[in-house]
Structure 1
Amino acid sequence: MNTTNIEKQNSHLDLTDPDVKNVFALYENHAEVPYISPQRNLHEWVNLVNIGSESLVPKRNMIRFEEDVLPGHLILLWRINFGTFTTISGYPKYFEYDYGINADQALQELIDKGYAKKLSALDSLPYLNAAQLKAILKQFGLKGYSKLNKEGLMELAKSELMEEQISPHFSIRGFEITPAGKELLAKYPEPVDRHPKKKY
C-alpha cells in the first residue's frame, strides 16, 4: 500500500477500510495518494473511476517540489495573487479532484511557510461595500461620512480607527501573496501554465 506522506493529508483515513484500500490501490504508482475528503463516497467514486466517469489525479500533480509543496499549492497561491481571495471564498472541486490537496490545509501551509499572509481588518476594508463601511463608522460616532464614496470611507476609517477597534466589527479578511510567494510562482510556472484560465 502506498502510504508515502500519508500523515500530511490523509491521516484521517482508516487503512483497514476496504473502500480506502481500493482507493489506495488506484494510486499505487503515484508519488503519494491525493487528499481524500472524509465526505467523499469512496465506494461510489471508485465505481465511477472504473467506468470512466471520474478520473484519477494526474501523477504529475502529486510530486512535491523541494519546498514541500504540491502543484495544487501553487494554483492556490496563483488564485490568491488576484487579490480577490478572502476568508469567505469557496474552494473549487478541482483542488481535491484534479490537484489532490486539502485546500483549506494548503492555505494554512502557504501562510506558515511565508508564501501568503492573512490581511488585517484595516487592510481588508476593500472587501466591504459602502453601506457596510458607513454602518461601522456610525457605530463609532464619526461625522462627515454620509456623502463619501467607498474610497473616502476607507480613508476615514483608517485615519480615525485603530486595528483593535475595528477588527471585531466584521469578520471577512483578505489574503495576499508575499514576495517569497511570487518567487515560488516564478520558479515553478508549469502548473499555472497548464491550468485552465478564467478571469477572477
Structure 2
Amino acid sequence: MNTKNFAKQNSHLDLNDPEVQKVFSLYENHAEVPYISPQRNLKDWLNLVSIGSESLVPKQNMVRFEEDILPGHLILLWRINFGTFTTISGYPKYFEYNYGINTAQALNEIQQKGYAKELSAIDSLPYLNAAQLKAILKKFGVTGYSKLKKSELMELAKEPLTEEQLAPHFKIRGYQITPAGEALLIKYPEVVDRHPKKKF
C-alpha cells in the first residue's frame, strides 16, 4: 500500500477500511495518495471512477517540489495573487479533486513557509462595502462620511482608528503573496501554465 507522506494529509483515514484500501490501491503508482476529505463518500466516488465519471488526481500533481509543497500549493498562491482571495472565500473543488490538497491546511502551510500572509484589518478595508465602512465609522462617532465614496471612507477610517480598534468589528481579511511566494511562482511556471484560466 502506498503510504508515503500519509501523515501529511491523510492521517484521519482508517487504513483498515476496505474502501480506503481501494482508494490507496488506485494511487499505488503515485508519489503519494492525494488528500481525501472526511466528507467524501468513498463508495460513491469509487463507483464514479469505475464508470469513468470521475478521474484520479494526475500523477504530476502529487510530486512534491524541494520546498516540500505540491503543485496545488502553487495554484493556491497564484489564486491569492489576484488579490480577491479572503478568509471567507470558498475553496474550489479542484483543489482536492485535481490537485489532491487539503486547501485549508495548504493555506496555513504557505503562510508558515513565508510565501503568503494574512492582511491586517486596516489593509483588509477594501474588502468591505461602503455601507459596512459607514457602520464602523458610526460606531466610533466619526462624522462627515455620508456623501463620501468608498475610497474616501477607507481613508477616513484609517485616520483616527487603529488596528486594535478596527479588528474586532469585521472578520474578513485578505491574503497577500510575499516576494518569496512570487519567486516560487517564477521558479515553477509550468504549474500555472497548465492550469485552466479564468478571470477572478
Q: Shorter-chain TM-score: what band?
A: over 0.9
Q: Give 1:115-194 correspondences, 5 Å limit.
A: 115-194=115-194
With normalisation by structure 1, the TM-score equals 0.99
Provide structure 2 residue ranges, at least 5 long, that are not aligned to the other structure.
none
The aligned counterpart of 1:48 is: 48
State percent identity of aligned pairs. Answer: 79
1:146 alignment partner, SS class: coil
The aligned counterpart of 1:25 is: 25
With normalisation by structure 2, the TM-score equals 0.99
**Aligned residue type for 1:77:** L
Q: Give 1:61-100 correspondences, 5 Å limit.
A: 61-100=61-100
**Aligned residue type for 1:4:** K
CA distance in structure 2 between the aligned counterparts of 1:167 and 1:40, rounded to whole angstroms: 35
RMSD value over aligned CA atoms? Answer: 0.5
Aligned length: 200
**Aligned residue type for 1:154:** M
**Aligned residue type for 1:47:** N
The Cα offsets for residues 83-128 of structure 1, whole Å up to 9 and x where unpaired, read as 0000110011000000000011100000000000000000000000
CA distance in structure 2 between the aligned counterparts of 1:49 and 1:148, rounded to whole angstroms: 55
**Aligned residue type for 2:8:** K
Q: How far 1:143 sits from its partner (Å)?
A: 1.3
Q: How far 1:173 sits from its partner (Å)?
A: 0.4
1:76 alignment partner, SS class: helix
The aligned counterpart of 2:7 is: 7
The Cα offsets for residues 60-82 of structure 1, whole Å up to 9 and x where unpaired, read as 00000000000000000000000
The Cα offsets for residues 147-199 of structure 1, whole Å up to 9 and x where unpaired, read as 11111110011111000001000000000000000000000011100000000
**Aligned residue type for 1:53:** S
User: Which runs of at least 4 in structure 1 moved beyond 2 Å after TM superposition?
Assistant: none
CA distance in structure 1 between the aligned counterparts of 2:197 and 2:5, rounded to whole angstroms: 30
**Aligned residue type for 2:161:** L
